[in-house]
Chains A and B, each alone.
Chain A
Amino acid sequence: MTDTPLLSVRDLAVRFRTGAGQVRAVDGVSFDVRRGETLAVLGESGSGKSVTAQAIMGILPRPAGEVVAGSIVYDGRDLLAEDPNRVRKLRGDEIAMVFQDPLSSLNPVFRVGWQIGEMFRRHRGASRRDARAAAVELMERVGIPAARRRVDDFPHQFSGGMRQRIMIAMALALKPRLLIADEPTTALDVTVQAQIMRLLADLRREEGMALVLITHDLGVVADVADRALLMYAGRAVETGDIREVYDHAAHPYTRGLMASIPDLDAPRERLTPVRGAPPNLLDLPSGCSFHPRCPHATDRCSVDDPVLRPIDGRPEEHRSACHYAEEVLAGEREPV
């Protein structure tokens, strides 16, 4: 174990060409994922979380989407600069991904055992029989009952939660060192969400792999993640240790998201939503892009674009992109 991060994303910028113009879906995002840790990437729809994951996995929709700046360094190798064939080998072998919608992310025309086994056949050169046995083993591992019998079923014969387990099995087949899960529980029933989240956490611990957990649900990741990265309009607005960020949120957006989580222990009161709607990426506000929705905004915020910076009196790791982070943290700045 060394101190260099497993994955290091620096100043990543992704541009999308749309009919209405160009959009910077991700704009200068930097973060690290250390070996074996869980990073939660949080934010509303359209904040650039999924696009970041797509850029890492090299599956940006083409030709519309394109990485225009920055680097994605995995274990010392820049995925954007290196030979595409070698990068392709890395994916699947060392970096894997679980998708949001398990209903559409399995190939409908092949049996699930065959699909899982394909990983072993193609990457490891396993025989059909060995691949099938390995598939059954993996299916048992991700908690699919009667795996031996169900290995020859087609994807449509499984429920959503079971399909997500199959996706996870495929992603884990080659024991990746980094797993990216893009809203792995969003398309599932609430009761199943917790099971899948627990499964991911358990597997992460057992395999010692790093996990990037993308979600818009702050509650879901609280117990699972080590660190958090909050994104808004394609930028990182706050980052740090997850307990630190949750307990000492130093960006008005983070505060707003916290206030909109229902708390069972708190006295009954109305939830406070973040007011307004996510910004139109085609026409971002000047200055801090959150300022039109921010209860603390001043004239400075509409002109001066804040950068991610450490906060006075908090650990160095904890950073916020707000001019008034200290005041927000201290609760001194009253909403104007």
Chain B
Amino acid sequence: MTDTLTDLGSPPAAPVPEQVVRARRRAGSGRIRFASAVIGIYVLAAVFGPWLVGYDSVATSTGDRLLPPGSRTEDGSLAIFGTDQVGQDLFAQVLQGARISIAVGVATLLLAGVIGVAIGVVAGWYGRWLDGALMRLADVQLTFPSILLAIFIAALLGPSVVNVVIVLAISNWVTFARVARSQVLVTKNRDFVDATRTLGARSWHLVRRCVLPACAAPVLVVATVEIGHVILAEASLSFLGLGTPASSPSWGVTIANGRNYLGDAWWISTIPGICLALLVVSFGLLGDALRDRFDPKLKNL
């Protein structure tokens, strides 16, 4: 029907709607490209950086303390980002930090995503009291500021990379659960689910074949938006001394270390701060652009 209509009515006006459609389909492609490029550089740096520029967390070199960016150290190598209060090369530290921050972010999202999607699908699929109970639990959790909750749990568990992942996953599963649940509610009443059921499919099969594929796109979009938050939260926890231990110098740890030297050595806190901000902003941009392109309905989430 619509085909015939456009075929008959469109020849004179054809270019305009086509361009509009094309422009809409490409929504945010510039942002996507820019943000992906920045994130790509970070990922490369995180994967290969520490391997190229060795970092030893217990090494100290008192002669090289608090050198400004671009100085030569005693052994003649160039400290692009300067050195910190114990003479460690800041560039190596930032690279190591990138590895930790991104690893923690990805691991947290995987954990939170698996838990959240599982809870959301179960709640949406079975409904009734289970749905009520799980979603009220999510509501209760949302009423706590997530960083407060994270601090509380982190204080109980103690600082370690694994604990940071657990803590952040606990405070981030709710978003995934809500998105998955809403997607399940939309999908489970679609005809094709009933059609598959009449062909003799079990619940598990329906969830796997009909519901989970429908969840994939919005969950991925949400994950991209969330990863920025997670990396920032990890830095906050580490800054407060509740995140990664000093032996794993995530950006938050390095920023905290430089706090006492802000007057004489601004670069210790500032450079990892800029790295952090740039990465978080890039993830935010990418998430927004992906959402605009694939799932504009999620805008209010």
Contact = CB atoms under 8 A, between A and B. Distances in A.
Interface of A: 57-59, 61, 63, 88-93, 95-97, 99-101, 104-110, 119, 122-123, 167, 170-171, 189
B197 interface: yes
B195 A99 contact: yes
Given A92-B198, A92-B199, A104 B191 contact: yes
B189 interface: yes
Given A88-B200, A123-B200, A99 B194 contact: yes
B41 to A, nearest CB: 33
Contacts of B213: 107, 109-110
Contacts of A59: 194, 197-198
B297 interface: no
Contacts of B22: none
Contacts of A61: 189
B192 A106 contact: yes
Given A63-B127, A63-B128, A107 B210 contact: yes
The 3 closest A-B pairs by CB, nearest first: A92-B200, A105-B191, A92-B199
Nearest to B205: A122
Contact of A89 (B189, B192, B195, B200): B200
A171 B196 CA distance: 10
Interface string B199-212: 11110010001100
B190 interface: yes
Interface in B79-130: 127-128
B191 A96 contact: no
Interface of B: 1, 127-128, 189-192, 194-202, 205, 209-210, 213-214
Of the listed residues A88, A89, A106, the one surrounded by the most CB atoms of chain B closer than 10 A to its CB is: A88
28 contacts: A57-B194, A57-B198, A58-B198, A88-B201, A91-B198, A91-B199, A91-B200, A92-B198, A92-B199, A97-B195, A97-B198, A99-B191, A99-B195, A100-B191, A105-B194, A105-B195, A106-B192, A106-B195, A107-B192, A107-B210, A109-B213, A109-B214, A110-B209, A110-B213, A122-B200, A122-B205, A123-B200, A170-B199
Contacts of A101: 191
A134 B166 CA distance: 49
Given A58-B198, A108-B192, A170-B195, 8 more contacts: A63-B127, A92-B199, A92-B201, A107-B210, A107-B213, A110-B209, A122-B205, A123-B200
Contacts of A108: 192
Nearest to A110: B209
Nearest to A56: B198
Contacts of B202: 88
Contacts of B189: 61
Given A99-B195, A107-B210, A93 B190 contact: no
Nearest to B214: A109
A104 B190 contact: yes
Contacts of B195: 97, 99, 105-106, 167, 170
B227 to A, nearest CB: 25
Contacts of A171: 199
A91 B201 CA distance: 9
A93 B198 CA distance: 10
Contacts of B200: 88-93, 122-123
A108 B211 CA distance: 11
